[in-house]
């Protein structure tokens, strides 16, 4: 009998440093495009006869090794696990739902604050997406910023903390993942917000537009709308009291947002000029002590990242001001560096944008396929 584990359990085994070999049975092209760090690739073809000798020669794995298999959806990895058991490999486990399951793994992290405002960061480990719950303990009211489509995770976390979600915000029209903003707002009966300039993107559903410097009160705490165009034309950041700023894809811990996904390669410099102004005239005008909470962290196709999963992904205005070299050059140099080496575009980004503005729709299975792979929202500035 082949045993299975959830993707969340796989996460725990990786984090605690357990010794095993993660065997990725997808084709090499799929593996190279996106895989879990340190996974060993071996293409399994269920239509071909399994050769245990060839497997051992290719992988170096023996019947004494502990193996965890993973594929796209948990189907072919289950087949090869049975084949391995039949040929003497007794310690083989399968990851349920494969890489689709891995794409739904979240870490829930408390962000330290100086006041009684509670900020919870949801880290979507496989894609590097970050969402936030902002709660006022005195009133039990909460807001959510940039939720992904797995809205039940956020709703459950709010419920566990005795919060009622009254407000849901998106910073912008996302291009790398399907937003859960509208769905979450409908699910909990909350008001859904976008920046006022979202109308220029052709957003085709109801939302409450937020003007520059408009404030939404979450109990005793204020969320202030701070337009910060550049990554897109309508993107806004959200200033929580004078303590933290949620920057979406405008400013990351170690980079800034790319500018050509909306503006196009030929006009990426127009977006870069907007971004320079947003950074220097708006975000960097905040006090050095303000915590920067971005919309993503960087993760490579090989699963590597510079952040520690389960630890806060954050920095401060003072730190980025002094440590991020791209913020210490003049506008001309900034624009040139930002547009000189454009990273690969997120997979299926045009279809994802169409879904996020309401021009298109997709069922759960199609959405899962669209989102597979890491995000590519940052510019390298190299």
Cα–Cα distance for residue pair 304/201, rounded to 1 Å = 33
- Model confidence pLDDT, tens digit, residues 103-143: 999 999 999 999 999 999 999 999 999 999 999 999 999 99
Q: What is the pTM of this model?
A: 0.95
Structural contact between residues 64 and 13, judged by C-beta atoms closer than 8 angstroms: no
pLDDT above 90 covers what percent of the chain?
Answer: 86
Could you say which of 2.40.128.20, 3.40.640.10, 3.90.650.10, 3.40.250.10 is the CATH number of the domain covering 3-101?
Answer: 3.40.250.10
The pLDDT of residue 380: 60
The pLDDT of residue 293: 98
Domain boundaries, the chain: 3-101, 103-379
- Model confidence pLDDT, tens digit, residues 185-218: 999 999 999 999 999 999 999 999 999 999 999 9
Residues recognised as catalytic: 71
Helix (H, G, I), strand (E, B) or coil at 87: coil
The DSSP secondary structure of 333-355, one letter per residue, reads HHHHHHHHSPPPPPTTHHHHHHH
Q: How confident is the model at residue 377 (pLDDT cuts 50, 70, 90)?
A: confident
Burial of 220 per CB tally in 10 Å (0-12, 13-18, 19+)? middle
pLDDT at 159 over 80: yes
Contacts of 366 (CB under 8 A, 6+ apart): none
221-227 β-sheet, strand order:
215-218, 221-227, 236-240, 244-248, 291-294, 315-316
Helix (H, G, I), strand (E, B) or coil at 364: helix
- CATH number of the 103-379 domain: 3.60.15.10
- Model confidence pLDDT, tens digit, residues 210-259: 999 999 999 999 999 999 999 999 999 999 999 999 999 999 999 999 99
Structural contact between residues 145 and 323, judged by C-beta atoms closer than 8 angstroms: no
The overall average pLDDT reported for the chain is 94
Cα–Cα distance for residue pair 258/251, rounded to 1 Å = 10
Burial of 62 per CB tally in 10 Å (0-12, 13-18, 19+)? exposed
Cα–Cα distance for residue pair 184/191, rounded to 1 Å = 10
- Among 182, 193, 196, 204, smallest CA distance to 233 is for 196
């Amino acid at each position: 009998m082949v045993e299975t584990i959830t993707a969340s359990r796989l996460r725990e085994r990786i984090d605690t440093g357990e010794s095993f070999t993660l065997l990725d049975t997808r084709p090499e092209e799929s593996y190279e495009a996106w895989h879990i760090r340190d996974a060993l690739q071996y293409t399994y073809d269920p239509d071909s006869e399994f050769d245990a000798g060839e497997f051992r020669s290719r992988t170096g794995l023996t019947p004494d090794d502990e193996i965890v298999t993973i594929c796209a959806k948990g189907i072919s990895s289950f087949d090869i696990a049975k084949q391995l058991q039949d040929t003497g490999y007794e310690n083989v486990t399968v990851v349920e739902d494969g890489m689709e399951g891995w794409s739904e793994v979240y870490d829930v992290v408390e962000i330290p604050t100086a006041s009684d405002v509670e900020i919870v960061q949801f880290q979507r480990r496989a894609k590097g997406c970050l969402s936030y719950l902002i709660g006022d303990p005195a009133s039990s009211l909460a807001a959510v910023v940039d939720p992904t489509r797995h809205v039940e995770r956020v709703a459950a976390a709010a419920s566990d903390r005795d919060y009622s979600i009254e407000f849901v915000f998106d910073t912008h029209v996302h291009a790398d993942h399907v937003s859960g903003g509208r769905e979450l707002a409908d699910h909990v009966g909350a008001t859904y917000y976008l920046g006022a300039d979202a109308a220029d993107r052709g957003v085709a559903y109801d939302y409450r537009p937020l003007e520059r410097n408009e404030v939404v009160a979450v109990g005793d705490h204020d969320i202030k709308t701070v337009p910060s165009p550049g990554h897109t034309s309508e993107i806004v950041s959200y200033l929580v009291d004078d303590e933290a700023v949620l920057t979406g894809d405008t400013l990351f811990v170690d980079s800034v947002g790319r500018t050509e996904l909306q503006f196009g390669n030929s006009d990426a410099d127009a977006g870069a000029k907007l971004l320079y102004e947003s950074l220097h005239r708006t975000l960097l005008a905040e006090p050095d002590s303000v915590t920067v909470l971005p919309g993503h962290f960087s993760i490579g196709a090989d699963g590597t990242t510079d952040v520690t999963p389960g630890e806060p992904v954050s920095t401060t205005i003072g730190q980025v001001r002094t440590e991020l070299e791209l913020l210490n050059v003049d506008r001309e140099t900034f624009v040139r560096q930002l547009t000189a080496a454009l990273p690969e575009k997120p997979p299926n980004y045009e279809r994802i944008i169409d879904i996020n503005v309401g021009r298109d729709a997709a069922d759960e299975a199609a959405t899962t396929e669209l989102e597979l792979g890491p995000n590519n929202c940052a510019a390298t500035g190299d």
